[in-house]
Amino acid sequence: MTISGRLRTFIIIGLLPALLIYAVFVLIPIFWSAYYGFFSWKGIGASTFIGFDNYAEALRDPIFWRALKNNLIIVVASIGGQLPIALVLSLILRKSTLFQRFVRSAVFMPMVVASVVIGMIWGYIYHPQIGILNFILDTFGLESWIRDWLGDPGINMYSVSVPVIWANIGPYLILFISAIQNISSEIEDAAKIDGAVGGKWLYLIVIPMIWDTIKVAIVLCISGSLKAFDLIFVMTGGGPAQSTELLATYMYNNTFEVFRYGYGSAVSTLIIVISMILVLGSQLLMRRK
């Protein structure tokens, strides 16, 4: 065989398995779900073609829009909670002393814990009868603050946002620390001479200097919010009365609880479209600034 022939065989044989697995389990399902979305199918028996009915039904369902709104609450909570905390911590945690390394590790620790466990822990913290949050409030005489944190539809989306924020500060902290370290010491010294310390230093020097990194972090917050499924599924299952439904739990409950595979497929397709709009849209917006 010629050299180029051997090269070609190697490339084909080498790429084939990865491409095959990747195409079959990541790319093709997207098209299948768009296609199944046109059918009414209970999982067994025949499926009937119903055109755009599933898509139209989802877009008319107020719960679908509530789920989308809840997803956006998580996005806002991530951007408004994780990023400022991570930014402030990153200004302080730039040394490699034992103490600072300990704090950094502690902040990052929840990232390695299974989200099922995180959801269960916070389920206990928020529990209306035995939860430690209400126990603390009771101990300090704040009985009037006691709530059914996950059951009250007025506040439960905010309650579930807290563990989402708590668990995901770590990566942003690391991201910001390494960005701040790229600010040259000349700029720092010049800023100090000009009197830019404390808050001024943060607003006038740090934020503009690491703006590119902040943009990356915002995009990560948006795409990360779509992954909050596990936590919310374990804590509330989307309830009570679908008040904490996310797009992903809405999809799950409509597919695997009531066996509407066609409808679930249509919702899956809408999730892909929405997340593409969110991620690409945020990147476009960021580029302009």
Partner 1 sequence: MKITTDGGLALDADRAPLSRFLKPKWSWIGNVLLLVYALLTLYPLVWLFISSFKTNQEFFGKPFALPTTWNFDNYKRAWEIADLGTAFVNSVIVTVSSIVLTLFLGTLTAYILSRLEFRFKGILMSLFVIGMLIPIHSTLVPLFIMMNKIGILDTYASLVLPYTAFELPVAIFVVAAYLTSVPKDLEEAAMIDGNGYWGTFFRIIMPLAVPAMATVFILGFLRFWNDFAFALVFINDQSLKTLPLSLSIFSDGYGTDYSLTTAAMAIAVIPTIIVYLIFQEQIMKGMVAGSVKG
Binding residues among 141-160 for partner 1 as defined by CB under 8 A: none
Distance between start and end Cα atoms, the chain: 55
Of 104 and 147, the one with the shorter C-beta distance to partner 1 is 104
**Is the Cα dihedral 243, 244, 249, 253 positive or negative?**
negative
Neighbours of 287 (CB within 10 A): 8
* Residue 236 in the binding site for partner 1 (CB under 8 A): no
* Residue 59 in the binding site for partner 1 (CB under 8 A): no
Cβ contact 93:103 at 8 Å: yes
Which residue from 76, 92, 142, 190 is in contact with partner 1, where contact means CB under 8 A? 92
CA 42 to chain centre: 31
Cβ contact 150:236 at 8 Å: yes
Amino acid at 236: T
Residue count, binding to partner 1 (CB under 8 A): 100
- DSSP lists the bridge partners of residue 49 as 39
Question: Measured from the CB of residue 273, what is the shortest distance to partner 1 in angstroms?
Answer: 9
- The piece of 61-69, 76-84, 152-160, 196-204 that touches partner 1 (CB under 8 A) is 196-204
Which residue from 59, 223, 241, 258 is in contact with partner 1, where contact means CB under 8 A? 223
* Residue 234 in the binding site for partner 1 (CB under 8 A): yes
Question: Measured from the CB of residue 11, what is the shortest distance to partner 1 in angstroms?
Answer: 6
Which residue from 63, 152, 155, 227 is in contact with partner 1, where contact means CB under 8 A? 227
Which residue from 103, 146, 155, 209 is in contact with partner 1, where contact means CB under 8 A? 103
- What is the rounded distance in angstroms from the CA atom of residue 245 to the CA atom of residue 193? 52
- What is the rounded distance in angstroms from the CA atom of residue 261 to the CA atom of residue 167? 32
- DSSP lists the bridge partners of residue 39 as 49
- The piece of 53-61, 62-70, 150-158, 193-201 that touches partner 1 (CB under 8 A) is 193-201
- The piece of 23-31, 50-58, 60-68, 144-152 that touches partner 1 (CB under 8 A) is 23-31
- What is the rounded distance in angstroms from the CA atom of residue 204 to the CA atom of residue 188? 11
* Residue 19 in the binding site for partner 1 (CB under 8 A): yes
